[in-house]
Structure 1
Amino acid sequence: MQISRELVIFMVIIVSLSIILNILQLMWLRKLTSHYNSLTQGIDKKSLMNVLQGIQHTIAQHERIQELTKNELQKLKESEILHIQQLILKRFNPFGDTGGDQSFILAILDGNKDGVVITSLHSRENTRFYVKSVEGGMGIDHPLSVEEQKIINRERPNKL
């Protein structure tokens, strides 16, 4: 029985590749063993188990704390809409016979456009203040003037 030359060359290549692969695996295994030995230096099997259990316990604690923190953050996000978010001031001159922009509209609103609008109208004889409650961008007890409504509904509100 005669083996062809190509078959012998093929088998030599396969054996050579196997030897190279085994050498690479041996190098990788030595590196891994060295790393493992440096991590477990001075630790017996029992204390290593304690260390691993401690790490698992710590991870579980951190996961619980993370969940609590996430819930608290969600509560803060939900409640922040109820805090003052828009403080809008517009000065103007409603009467032509007075000098300067002595009158103003001040809107203090939360994220739902609830709050108050304070309007001051200044004339030569006196200054009048009007305070109106606002809910959802609309006056509750008293209708808002056109100017007050414009201030509340403007596109770019001032954020605190």
Structure 2
Amino acid sequence: MDQLEYYIEYYNIYIVCGMIIAVILLFIIALIQQIKISNFRKKYNLFMKSGEVDIEKLLISQINKIEGVENHLTKIDKNQILLDKRIDSTYQKIGIVKYNAFKEMGGNLSFAIVLLNYYNNGVLINGIHSRDGSYTYVKTIENGKTSVQLSPEENEALDKAIRQ
């Protein structure tokens, strides 16, 4: 029996070391599981913070909120389409040229203004200042062109507006 006791005592060290390693591994696993449970508990509390305990009621209320947001988004999309159509027809390109219509007069008191929409349709307003008075002329612009002859200043204002 002496030899048997010797082997038991000799292997006890390995058994104890193995058990210590197993306990350490089990402790690490338990710690990891505790962290996961803590994270899950935080998410659960965040989810349940509304005070409702019935998950089915909570999900139904969330679905109703989502449907309300979707309906509101659909209305916004329709309004956006209408606004896009309206904006294309508003004057958004402007070309202005100030000039001196008559050499004997000082200052650039005459002007040519072009107002165009997205499609380059709009008006050209030419204001000519002289000693006798001021005269204003309006010309229609369609697709960036007009059916009447333009002065160099009017052409410059039209080019400025189209290039915007």
Task: Establish whether TM, by shorter chain, passes 0.5.
Answer: yes
- On the 8 A contact 1:115/1:133 being kept in 2, the answer is yes
Equivalent residue, structure 2, for 1:99: 106
**Structure 1 alignment gaps of length 5 or more:** none
Structure number, greater radius of gyration: 2
User: TM-score, with normalisation over the residues of structure 1?
Assistant: 0.71
User: TM-score, with normalisation over the residues of structure 2?
Assistant: 0.70
Any idea what SS the aligned residue of 1:138 has?
coil
Equivalent residue, structure 2, for 1:24: 32
**1:135-157, Cα deviation, whole Å (9 max, x unpaired):** 12211x32332321211212764
Query: More displaced, 143-152 or 21-30?
Result: 21-30
How far is 1:21 from its partner?
A: 1.6
Q: Does 1:154 align with 2:160?
A: yes
Any idea what SS the aligned residue of 2:92 has?
strand
Distance 1:40 1:127, change over 3 A: closer
How far is 1:33 from its partner?
A: 3.8
Number of residue pairs the alignment of both structures matches: 153
Higher strand share: 1
**Structure 2 alignment gaps of length 5 or more:** 1-10
Distance 1:90 1:32, change over 3 A: same
Higher helix share: 2
**1:27-86, Cα deviation, whole Å (9 max, x unpaired):** 4325534763683696443xx321220111111220221233133223312321211113
Query: More displaced, 113-122 or 36-45?
Result: 36-45
Distance in 1 (CA, whole Å) between partners of 2:81 and 2:126 is 36
Q: What letter is aligned with 1:60?
A: E
Distance in 2 (CA, whole Å) between partners of 1:42 and 1:130 is 72
Distance in 1 (CA, whole Å) between partners of 2:50 and 2:154 is 75
CA RMSD of aligned residues (A): 3.6
